[in-house]
């Protein structure tokens, strides 16, 4: 429920003028600051907020996060309950439709997704064009974007029926594209989807099927992967969701917008955190080395990966669910020495006043990498798995932005800090640049990575 509208009284000490700025839902409109000027020619006051750390870019009814209390809810439902009682496709429906589906609605939805998992045969040729060591995430960015050329009706974004069709296509086909990217990287033949299997089970089929006539996924691993997809399904206005909304604001088709979101997730600060946790645990090596590693973290010499979060200042609610998923997975795969190391590291850190005072608690990435590794996924596939789970959230964010009458094409302002107007200098008057140190472009080239063989 919206708060009652009140006002904020602002006095501009430059001019002595006082302004009344409306306050709604705990926010002020940035455009209201434009009225605060020193003179008629003044552009007006702007808010400067690098990385949007304190700027609400939209109104959203999809995901609620209370970082201090450690709360995450999709459409009002606690993440713990959804992870325990729902399937991933049921949660996907919830995120997109706003309500949990009835039995008939869920059956229809699952049937739609199941029968849209096939991709055009030309997509295989497209993937075959990548080098064998191409990163699966790079292949996923490209192939998802390429789908827009296969479905020109996706550009008709003002048609609700066609929007739903593209949503179904993206949720269905991303598992196929993800599995094909992996199979290409290891030189295995592509596996067709199996309509008899669940969403997570079919993905495991396309990943791991070898010569057997019928792939039967382990039910524990199948369920664990489904839960992991739920935990990643949406997370408010994060970097990739912001990219999805920003590209979507230009009225680009959802395949192009999703490719941009995947590209944002490709960055190690967003989708690669669980890989960094594995590297950290491997570096620690054994339980005996944890105290010395903790000491180095306190001295600023090391980073404690998988702890702390931009939003959560409490225990990440997804991390609590992850612990249960880990138990389910390791019953099948056997114990992982990294798990014992991680649990001991968590125990020590949570009892240390240094980390308690800084509110550094385990986040969702702390255990997911260990689980994925135990299930047989290479580290290059970790962000790909993240993208599969996040696709419904991206699409919900995209459609919500599209239907919001307040939204326009994304176009942030800037604070220009460059030169004022200066006269053009003809080439003959500039002089020759004698060394690379004086030439910033040449200097950057000189510091580039060692030359690689041509392919």
Look at residue 449 and tell me whether its pLDDT is greater than 60. no
Q: Report the alpha-carbon distance of residue 390 to residue 171 in Å, rounded.
A: 9
Q: How does pLDDT run across 317-365, given as a tens digit for each residue?
A: 887 888 888 888 988 998 778 888 888 888 888 888 888 888 787 777 7
Q: Provide the greatest CA pair distance for the chain.
A: 81
Instruction: With a cut of 50, say whether residue 89 has pLDDT above it.
Output: yes
* Active site residue ranges: 309, 365
Q: How confident is the model at residue 1 (pLDDT cuts 50, 70, 90)?
A: very low
Q: Which of 93-102, 114-123, 159-168, 266-275 has the lowest mean pLDDT?
A: 266-275
Mean pLDDT over each residue of the chain, to the nearest integer: 90
Q: Helices (DSSP H) in 187-304: which residue ranges?
A: 199-208, 219-231, 239-248, 254-266, 273-284, 290-298
Taken in order 448, 450, 454, 455, the sign of the CA dihedral is negative
pTM as predicted: 0.88
Domains and CATH numbers, the chain: 1-56 (no CATH), 68-406 (1.10.580.10)
Structure tokens at 408: 């326009």
- Condensed to tens digits (0 to 9), the pLDDT of residues 272-291 reads 777 788 888 989 999 999 99
């Amino acid at each position: 429920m919206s708060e009652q509208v009140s006002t904020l009284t602002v006095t501009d000490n430059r001019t002595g003028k006082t302004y009344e700025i409306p306050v709604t839902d705990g926010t002020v409109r940035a455009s209201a600051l434009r009225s605060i000027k020193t003179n008629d020619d003044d552009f007006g006051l702007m808010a400067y907020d690098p990385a949007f750390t304190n700027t609400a870019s939209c109104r959203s009814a999809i995901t609620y996060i209370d970082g201090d209390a450690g709360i995450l809810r999709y459409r009002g439902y606690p993440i713990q309950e959804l992870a325990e009682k729902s399937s991933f496709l049921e949660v996907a429906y919830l995120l997109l439709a706003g309500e949990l589906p009835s039995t008939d609605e869920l059956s229809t939805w699952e049937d739609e997704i199941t029968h849209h998992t096939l991709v055009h045969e030309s997509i295989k040729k497209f993937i075959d064009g990548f080098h064998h060591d191409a990163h699966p995430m790079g292949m996923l960015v490209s192939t998802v974007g390429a789908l827009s050329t296969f479905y020109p009706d996706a550009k008709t974004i003002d048609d609700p029926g066609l929007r739903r069709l593209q949503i179904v296509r993206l949720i269905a086909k991303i598992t196929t594209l993800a599995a094909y990217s992996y199979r290409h990287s290891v030189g295995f033949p592509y596996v067709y989807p199996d309509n008899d299997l669940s969403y997570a089970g079919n993905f495991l089929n396309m990943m791991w099927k070898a010569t057997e006539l019928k792939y039967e996924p382990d039910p524990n691993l199948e369920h664990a992967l489904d839960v992991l997809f739920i935990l990643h399904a949406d997370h408010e206005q994060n970097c990739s969701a912001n990219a999805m909304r920003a590209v979507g604001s230009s009225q680009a088709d959802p395949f192009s917008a999703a490719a941009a979101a995947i590209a944002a997730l490709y960055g190690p600060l967003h989708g690669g955190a669980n890989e960094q946790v594995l590297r950290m645990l491997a570096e620690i090596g054994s339980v005996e080395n944890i105290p010395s590693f903790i000491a180095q973290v306190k001295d600023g010499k090391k980073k404690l990966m998988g702890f702390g979060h931009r939003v959560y200042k409490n225990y990440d609610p997804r991390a609590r669910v992850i612990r249960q998923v880990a138990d389910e997975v390791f019953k099948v795969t056997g114990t992982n020495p990294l798990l014992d190391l991680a649990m001991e590291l968590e125990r020590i850190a949570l009892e240390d006043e240094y980390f308690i005072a800084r509110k550094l608690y385990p986040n969702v990435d702390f255990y997911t990498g260990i689980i994925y590794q135990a299930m047989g996924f290479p580290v290059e596939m970790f962000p790909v798995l993240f993208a599969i789970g996040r696709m419904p959230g991206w699409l919900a964010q995209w459609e919500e932005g599209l239907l919001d009458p307040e939204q326009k094409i994304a176009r942030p302002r800037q604070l220009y800090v460059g030169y004022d107007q200066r006269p053009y200098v003809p080439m003959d008057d500039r002089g020759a640049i004698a060394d690379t140190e004086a030439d910033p472009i040449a200097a950057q080239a000189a510091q580039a990575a060692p030359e690689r063989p041509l392919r």
